[in-house]
């Protein structure tokens, strides 16, 4: 049992190569949170990417930065930590704030794996280092541009594609994509754009042989998804709605989905991601790993999670140059083969920031004192 000796949090703005559009709006600069801690004399890094505005979830980067600095960090000061579960218990007095908790939890797992001299994917229970990955196609200007973007991803060797859609005419776009690429594995991500009033429109999506339908209804819903699933052949995949293992259990119990997309940031960290993975495995529900457009540091965490045995679909992990012109962390992410990536043998998650890049993109930084204990409620 060792204490956190240092804790430092960074809010970073990462300019995208091109605006990323989804049903949630348009991002040009992705705001991300880096967290560095020292535990047992070993350094660990974590990243969570809640975005600049609270549009994907109620959290946002500026808020996450403050919650870590003012609430969560002080709760850990001076306290012995031996596991991710210890961290979760110590932070349990703060409700919600999953991304903020995840930044600390992920950095601790990195330090823990480094302290053992082992790659994180092995420490987490990965079955083999190779993981399936897929392409994520944001909203395009028109249907021709979408078909072209899909063609480019297919040419690059991707074997599964995820398309972002809105309520506006997804059937027409999917018909064009299917006409051009009848056999490719495709699913669509609605980011909560529909309601049950849209049932005929959602059922129309059932005609395109989709691998799954991701988060069709509201970000915090389970019950309506269970009602919707009864009307669909395609399986629903929940993303935004699953913020904890407890929520995953309820979703499974009421039949709200057939897949879960796990994101360490969204669920409070690697500790809870592992709990959700295990719960789904027991229930016979497959999972895959999603993305918040993290830098390659956060993507390295996704890659380690993607090696777990119940990950049965290509995960959203992207090679160097996909969304960002320059990488903020080292080394570069690279495909190891068509639609696949390989987790390495370096201790921990295996990635760390290039400090000059970190400085160049810094919005704000804070050190949290680990000497005094407590946060007065």
Residues catalogued as catalytic: 164, 263
> Measured from the CB atom, is 105 or 214 closer to Mg ion?
214
Residue 239 near Mg ion by CB under 5 A: yes
> Measured from the CB atom, is 219 or 375 closer to Mg ion?
219
Cα gap 100→47, rounded to integer Å: 10
CB of 240 to Mg ion, least distance (A): 7
CB of 261 to Mg ion, least distance (A): 6
Q: Is 183 helix (H, G, I), strand (E, B) or coil?
A: coil
Stretch that binds Mg ion, among 74-82, 188-196, 274-282, 337-345 (CB under 5 A): 188-196
Near Mg ion by CB under 5 A: residue from 189, 221, 272, 316: 189
Buried b (16+ CB within 10 A) or exposed e, 100-115: bbbbbbbbbbbbbbbb
CB of 225 to Mg ion, least distance (A): 13
Q: Which residues contact 185 (CB under 8 A, 6 or more apart)?
A: 134, 159, 160, 161, 211, 314
CB of 190 to Mg ion, least distance (A): 8
Both tokens assigned to 18: 């091109």
In this structure, the number of other CB atoms found within 10 A of the CB of residue 366 comes to: 15
Whose CB is nearest to Mg ion?
A: 239
Buried b (16+ CB within 10 A) or exposed e, 186-220: bbbbbbbbbeeebeeebeebeebebbbbbbbbbbe
CB of 375 to Mg ion, least distance (A): 32
CB 287 within 8 A of CB 276: yes
How many residues form the binding site for Mg ion (CB under 5 A)?
Answer: 3
Residue 27 near Mg ion by CB under 5 A: no
> Measured from the CB atom, is 22 or 352 closer to Mg ion?
22
Binding residues for Mg ion restricted to 191-220, rule: CB under 5 A: 214
> Measured from the CB atom, is 214 or 327 closer to Mg ion?
214
Residue 294 near Mg ion by CB under 5 A: no
CB 64 within 8 A of CB 46: no
Stretch that binds Mg ion, among 42-50, 101-109, 238-246, 332-340 (CB under 5 A): 238-246
CB 162 within 8 A of CB 343: no
Residues in contact with Mg ion by CB under 5 A are: 189, 214, 239
């Amino acid at each position: 049992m060792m204490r956190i000796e240092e804790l430092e949090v960074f809010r970073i703005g990462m300019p995208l190569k091109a605006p990323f559009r989804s049903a949630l709006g348009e991002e040009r600069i992705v705001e991300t949170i880096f967290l560095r801690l020292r535990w047992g004399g070993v350094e660990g890094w974590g990243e969570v990417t809640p975005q600049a505005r609270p549009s994907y979830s109620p959290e946002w980067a500026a808020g996450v930065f403050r919650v870590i600095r003012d609430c969560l960090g002080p709760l850990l000061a001076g306290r012995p930590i031996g596991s991710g579960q210890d961290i979760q218990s110590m932070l349990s007095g703060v409700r919600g704030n999953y991304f903020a908790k995840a930044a600390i939890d992920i950095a601790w797992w990195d330090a823990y794996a480094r302290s053992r001299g082992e790659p994180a994917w092995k420490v987490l229970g990965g079955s083999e280092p190779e993981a399936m990955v897929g392409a994520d196609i944001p909203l395009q200007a028109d249907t021709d541009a979408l078909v072209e973007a899909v063609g480019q991803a297919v040419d690059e060797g991707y074997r599964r594609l995820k398309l972002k859609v809105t309520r506006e005419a997804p059937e027409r776009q999917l018909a064009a994509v299917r006409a051009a690429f009848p056999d490719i594995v495709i699913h669509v991500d609605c980011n909560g754009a529909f309601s049950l009033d849209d049932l005929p429109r959602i059922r129309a999506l059932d005609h395109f042989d989709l691998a799954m339908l991701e988060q069709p209804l509201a970000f915090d819903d389970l019950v309506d998804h269970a009602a919707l699933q009864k009307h669909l052949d395609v399986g629903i995949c929940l993303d935004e709605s699953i913020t904890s293992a407890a929520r995953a259990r309820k979703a499974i119990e009421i039949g709200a989905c057939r897949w879960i997309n796990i994101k360490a940031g969204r669920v409070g960290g690697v500790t809870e991601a592992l709990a959700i993975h295990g719960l789904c495995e027991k229930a016979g529900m497959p999972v895959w790993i999603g993305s918040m457009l993290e830098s390659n540091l956060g993507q390295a965490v996704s890659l380690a999670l993607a090696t777990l045995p119940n990950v049965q679909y290509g995960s959203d992990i992207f090679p160097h140059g996909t969304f960002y012109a320059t990488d903020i962390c080292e080394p570069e992410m690279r495909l190891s083969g068509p639609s696949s990536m390989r987790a390495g043998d370096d201790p921990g998650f295996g990635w760390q920031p290039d400090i000059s890049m970190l400085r160049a993109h810094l919005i704000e930084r804070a050190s949290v004192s680990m000497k005094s204990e407590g946060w007065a409620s």
